[in-house]
């Protein structure tokens, strides 16, 4: 288990677990970006996928800035909500926001998704969003989420498919390059894999609901807020892109071409969101 005594130690978010991909979009302003991203994604609508009883114990794994954990705590004031992340900076931000909002039923702890600091069968509902895409072994992480869930409890994972790779009209050469680059950053189709993983792990009543990912789907010219969200991520990712593409010039050309495509009012970009749930 991750010792809680290390909670206040410095942490390199780019390193993460050895079983994780580098979180290449980290920057000093990442928590503020995550808060804005949560608003753009309209996370209030996600609550319909979480059948939470008022007295349930709920875990948000990979909680980031804590936006979803705080939303659950506000929406279910008798529930006991815990947010877990491996990054100290994010946890500190989440705690401050919870204090500012006067939330008494949410707490935040440091932990690795592959070795969560909780006993078996601790939580009634376990939630994760945009987490499995960053993991080299997502099936192993799902096994750990299952371990900390009570018998009869529910694990719900929210993941995208077609991330930054489904566009029309299609520029075949550009789209091929984008897919190659994104495949080196995240698993852009992880959403389609979660249900089979859950079945293999022995989850019961596995179900999937799909909807449009309103954060990354753009019809026509991209709006200013979503463009800023992309710009911030791409800027943080720039050192990684330079390594992947061989030079600053190649990295900057790709970013310029990417944003120009999204700025074009004649283009459309599509990403699906998969809500996969399984009972323990």
Residue keyed to tokens 């970013």: 255
pLDDT digits (tens, 9 = 90+) for 169-210: 988 888 899 999 999 999 999 999 999 999 999 999 999 999
How far apart CA 85 and CA 150 sit, in angstroms, is 21
Helix (H, G, I), strand (E, B) or coil at 4: helix
Q: How far is CA 26 from the centre of its chain?
A: 13
- What is residue 175's predicted lDDT score, i.e. its pLDDT? 87
What pLDDT is attached to residue 17? 65
Running DSSP on this structure, what letter comes out for residue 223? Answer: P
Angstrom distance (rounded) from CA 210 to CA 122: 28
Q: Is 161 helix (H, G, I), strand (E, B) or coil?
A: strand
Whether residue 118 contacts residue 128, with contact meaning beta carbons closer than 8 Å, is answered with no
Domain positions in the chain are: 4-161+186-216+272-279
Strands 167-168 and 268-269: antiparallel
Query: Are the beta carbons of 158 and 130 closer than 8 angstroms?
Result: yes
Per residue in 232-269, pLDDT tens?
A: 999 999 999 999 999 999 999 999 999 999 999 999 99
Q: Strand pairing partners for 204?
A: 279
CB-based contact 167:269 (threshold 8 Å): yes
Query: Which regions of the chain are under pLDDT 50?
Result: 1-15
Among residues 79, 82, 84, 83, which one has the least CA distance to residue 52?
A: 79
Residue 252: left if φ>0, alpha if ψ -120 to 50, beta else—which one? alpha
> Which CATH number is associated with domain 4-161+186-216+272-279?
3.40.50.150
The per-residue pLDDT for 78 is 97
């Amino acid at each position: 288990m991750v010792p809680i005594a290390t909670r206040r130690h410095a942490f390199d978010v780019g390193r993460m677990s050895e079983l994780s991909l580098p979180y290449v979009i980290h920057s000093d302003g990442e928590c503020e970006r995550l808060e804005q991203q949560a608003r753009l994604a309209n996370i209030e609508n996600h609550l319909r996928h979480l059948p939470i009883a008022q007295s349930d114990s709920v875990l948000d794994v990979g909680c980031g800035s804590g936006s979803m954990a705080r939303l659950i705590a506000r929406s279910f004031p008798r529930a006991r909500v815990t947010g877990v992340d491996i990054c100290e900076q994010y946890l500190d931000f989440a705690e401050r926001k919870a204090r500012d909002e006067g939330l008494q039923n949410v707490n935040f702890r440091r932990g690795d998704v592959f070795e969560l600091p909780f006993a078996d069968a601790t939580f009634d509902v376990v939630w994760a969003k945009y987490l499995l895409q960053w993991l080299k072994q997502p099936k192993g992480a799902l096994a750990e989420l299952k371990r900390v869930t009570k018998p009869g409890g529910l694990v719900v994972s929210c993941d995208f498919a077609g991330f930054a790779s489904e566009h029309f009209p299609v520029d075949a050469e550009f789209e091929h390059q984008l897919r190659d680059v994104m495949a080196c950053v995240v698993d852009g189709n992880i959403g389609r894999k979660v249900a089979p993983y859950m079945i293999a792990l022995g989850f019961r009543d596995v179900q999937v609901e799909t909807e449009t990912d309103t954060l990354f789907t753009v019809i026509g010219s991209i709006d200013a807020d979503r463009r800023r969200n992309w710009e911030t991520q791409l800027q943080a990712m720039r050192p990684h892109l330079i390594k992947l593409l061989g030079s600053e010039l190649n990295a900057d050309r790709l970013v310029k071409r990417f944003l120009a495509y999204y700025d074009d009012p004649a283009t459309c970009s599509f990403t699906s969101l998969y809500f996969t749930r399984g009972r323990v």
